[in-house]
Chains A and B, each alone.
Chain A
């Protein structure tokens, strides 16, 4: 029995190992993506001041701190029964769309991008340095515009990485007219870069036969259900909306508020990884497999484009139509379509930011809503990687009694595991894989742009556990619920 270990996996956020188990004939027995990290936020958040939660929970992830910062603020808005005044809401939304743009850009160029832009590169070149070498102009533009986007985050958030501005009921301070001017100019550069990246995608990436085969082959096709936030027009909205779940066959399963949707999700743990596996309670746990009768669902760019009926902005809508045209059917189950979906969302985020930057009330001085007594609240938001729930219970002093988070990449943990297994099977089919082929196995998770620090924030406690007893042939004999 042989074993191939990829350690560590690279060009993503977080720690991981891929373990590929082969049988005597060298065929795949099993493949898992193991997450070996764990910090325990839900445990040490207890006893903390409620208003600190946006700053504490954002340290779950330094790539998407903005998502936690605002999901946390929204949970606190609910817990304090506060209504956020328009200038504060505009600040938050503008900030948030800028973050989505920046985070997606990071993945498209620094993380997943090198695989797509440099398909034949050797290991040493297969990274941002290689990208900058091959596309120096694009590289420079990306670094420049990203800096401008980060400037927006700093002006509104106080800091670009680990912002400080969100509070229950609003934000820390009003935005000045001068800052708005800088933000407006930067947001227009963001839209420009979005257009450039679309052109690059259609010129450099989409035409590649290898990429086309990744998009259309069976070995990367995973039929799951999908979850994402939509606005009243059934377009994706990153900051707010209802949680919509669409089945693998394209029917709406439900469209609910954050707290209600939370009740439709359960989580399951396995001893060999520190990430939990969520599933839809409507289907129950049917094992780690995809399909219309399984409880497994996916989140993130591809999921959001699958649950939406249209995009919210014109350039994004144009590209969305080209995307749907290419695949011919919906939902799109092709895992590598995540990259294209990410690009489309990046453009919507830029367009939305540019629109919001023009709103007159953005510089309004009323930035805090009235707060009621501290209680319980749920905040839901779409992080770049998918739906994010924060649920808090506060005591009468406004200290955290209980915190539960379901984080984007956690929802995708089953999907990622399945995609890695699919690709590993395909790769070992062709014989003992070389470094290049092993990278393909990694490409299978990179499509999801996973954030494993996010996925593994919790300290497992009294979790419901099931013990499954298998016979020598791997047939399930007995299952005991703990």
Chain B
């Protein structure tokens, strides 16, 4: 099986994640021919460009689409690949770097007074670093994507599941290699009568290790996030922050979670007299964008943000 792995606006974690297969990695490596993978092998861009169309069986792209070069490279890879998939949260949803979309006027900050990318003194313009795109995008905004291996980075179990399907030539189009149910199904913590009587931040409390974190007032995105990681973060004493992406029914995970949190808040019996206390609890949710759109801001939050920007342009 001819395999290519490429990184765009990436941290490298997805490339390292394959090593988490442990001994399983040796087996995978023995069954693939790596045609392009800058982290591990020395094939260059021109080697990729020389490949015939659709000659690469499987290509995995990780990283957010941030620069013009990122876009160029994934377009080339799309042409050369039979199956091309988004690997990791950044390619899938935009990832944490997509929070840069919230920074007003990214291009103005980058190219503002003080810095403009350019070629070394006296050299051809093509030698300048690539321009930043005006927005950080998920992979499917730029090329058609055949499948997704989600996670930040994808957990070993899901990587193994993917390779199994790939070697069996059984990648169904549109498949997302994670659970269909919510993370809560996998989480060992016990859930009781769910009531959010307070919202607290992880460093403000030492939670009970057995009980559901949400029940204890710590915002955990488990209810809207796909299972598949074994609930690693809740097992580690910290809440899920949604890296595997939304369950099929959740839609926009931030708005889904927002709805759930609002439903669960209680300040005693529900009723008009409880409204002020309820509002106080709701107000203790700080940084809603960072908390609820942490990995998904390119795919989900950005369209609404764009609306706000468009109006600012028209206003001006």
Chain A bound to chain B: yes
Contacts of B97 in A (CB 8 A): 39-41, 44, 59
Interface string of A22-35 (1 = CB under 8 A from B): 00000000101011
Q: What 3 A-B pairs are tightest by C-beta distance, nearest first?
A: A62-B13, A158-B236, A172-B237
Central interface residue in A39, A44, A123, A159, by most chain B CB within 10 Å: A39
Q: Is there a chain B Cβ closer than 8 Å to A61's Cβ?
A: yes
Q: At the interface with chain A, which of B101-109, B138-146, B165-173, B298-306? A: B101-109
**Residue from the list A21, A39, A367, A459 in contact with B123, Cβ < 8 A:** A21
Contacts of A160 in B (CB 8 A): 20
Which of under 10, 10 to 19, 20 to 34, or 35 or more describes the interface residues of B?
A: 35 or more
Q: Is there a chain B Cβ closer than 8 Å to A378's Cβ?
A: no
Chain A residue nearest to B68 (CB atoms) is: A36
How many angstroms between the C-alpha atoms of A65 and B94 in the bound complex?
A: 19
Shortest beta-carbon distance, A180 to chain B, in Å? Answer: 16
A47 and B290 contact, CB distance less than 8 A: yes
B12 and A451 contact, CB distance less than 8 A: yes
Contacts of A326 in B (CB 8 A): none
Q: Is there a chain B Cβ closer than 8 Å to A165's Cβ?
A: yes
Contacts of B52 in A (CB 8 A): none
Q: Is there a chain A Cβ closer than 8 Å to B29's Cβ?
A: yes
A49 and B19 contact, CB distance less than 8 A: no
Interface residues of A in 123-164 (CB under 8 A from B): 123-124, 126-129, 132, 139-140, 143-144, 146-147, 150, 154, 157-164
How many angstroms between the C-alpha atoms of A159 and B235 in the bound complex?
A: 10
A59 and B13 contact, CB distance less than 8 A: yes
A126 and B42 contact, CB distance less than 8 A: yes
Q: Is there a chain A Cβ closer than 8 Å to B201's Cβ?
A: yes
Q: Is there a chain A Cβ closer than 8 Å to B76's Cβ?
A: no
Contacts of A30 in B (CB 8 A): 120
Q: Is there a chain B Cβ closer than 8 Å to A110's Cβ?
A: yes
Residues of B near any A CB (own CB < 8 A): 7, 9-17, 19-20, 22-23, 25-26, 29, 34, 38-46, 64, 66-67, 69, 95-97, 99-100, 102-103, 106, 109-110, 112-121, 123-124, 127-130, 132, 136, 152-153, 201-203, 206, 209, 232-233, 235-238, 241, 286-287, 289-291, 294
Number of A-B contacts (CB under 8 A): 258
Q: At the interface with chain B, which of A10-18, A226-234, A239-247, A296-304? A: A10-18
Specify the main secondary structure of chain A where it touches its partner: loop
A272 and B15 contact, CB distance less than 8 A: no
Given contacts A144-B22, A460-B114, A460-B115, contact A62 B109 (CB under 8 A): no
Q: Is there a chain B Cβ closer than 8 Å to A403's Cβ?
A: no
Q: At the interface with chain B, which of A184-192, A252-260, A426-434, A462-470? A: A462-470
B290 and A49 contact, CB distance less than 8 A: yes
Contacts of A63 in B (CB 8 A): 11-13, 16
Interface residues of A in 33-89 (CB under 8 A from B): 34-41, 43-44, 46-52, 55-56, 59-63, 65
Given contacts A13-B39, A36-B129, A49-B290, contact A167 B203 (CB under 8 A): yes
Given contacts A35-B129, A162-B152, contact A61 B43 (CB under 8 A): no
Known pairs A48-B290, A271-B117 / 12 extra A-B pairs, C-beta < 8 Å: A3-B123, A34-B127, A36-B69, A38-B67, A40-B103, A59-B13, A59-B96, A62-B11, A165-B237, A273-B129, A397-B286, A460-B109
